Amino acid sequence: MDEKNKKQILLVEDDIALAEMYQDKFVLEGFHVYVSRNGVDGLEAALRIKPDLILLDILLPGMDGMTVMKKLRTDVWGKTVPIIMLTNLNANDTILKGVVEDHPAYYLMKANSEPAEVVGKVKDVLKEI
C-alpha cells in the first residue's frame, strides 16, 4: 500500500513489549504507526501528527491516559478523533468512573486483547467514521 494512503495510528503505551507487539501487528496490517511512551509525549504527538485513531493506555507515566483524552477533547481536531483505551482496569474502577458519558468516540479494550482483535477493532472503528 502507498505510504501516503496508509491509515495513521498513534499508540501511546509505556510497556516496551506491548508497544512493539502492537506496532508490529499494525505495520503488518498496513497501518502507519507512531509510538509514544508517556502521556505528555502522546498528547503532543497527537496534536502534531493528527492521526486517524489513537490507541491509548490508561496508566501512563507523566500524564495518565484519561487526562490525555480530556485534553484532546478540548481541541477542535481532537474533539472527534476516535480513541481506543487499552486497560487492565475494570470499568468500575475509580479512575474510569464518570468519564464514559462525558467523552464520546472512545472505546474500551482489554490490554491483554490479542493483537489481531485490536486490529479488528481499529478497522471497525475506522469504518464507522
CB of 117 to another protein, least distance (A): 9
Q: How many CB atoms lie within 10 A of CB 61?
A: 11
Instruction: Using the structure block, give the residue that is written with the C-alpha cell 481499529.
Output: 122
Instruction: Report helix angle 16-28 to 115-128, nearest 10.
Output: 60
**Number of helices and strands in the chain (H, E):** 4, 5
Out of 44, 80, 102, 114, which residue is the one contacting another protein (CB under 8 A)?
A: 114
Residue 120 binding another protein, by CB under 8 A:
no
Residue 90 binding another protein, by CB under 8 A:
yes
Q: Return the C-alpha cell found at 15.
A: 510497556
Instruction: Rank residues 71 and 123 by Cβ distance to another protein and give the closer one.
Output: 123
Residues engaged in binding another protein (CB under 8 A): 15, 17-18, 21-22, 24-25, 28, 88, 90-93, 111-116
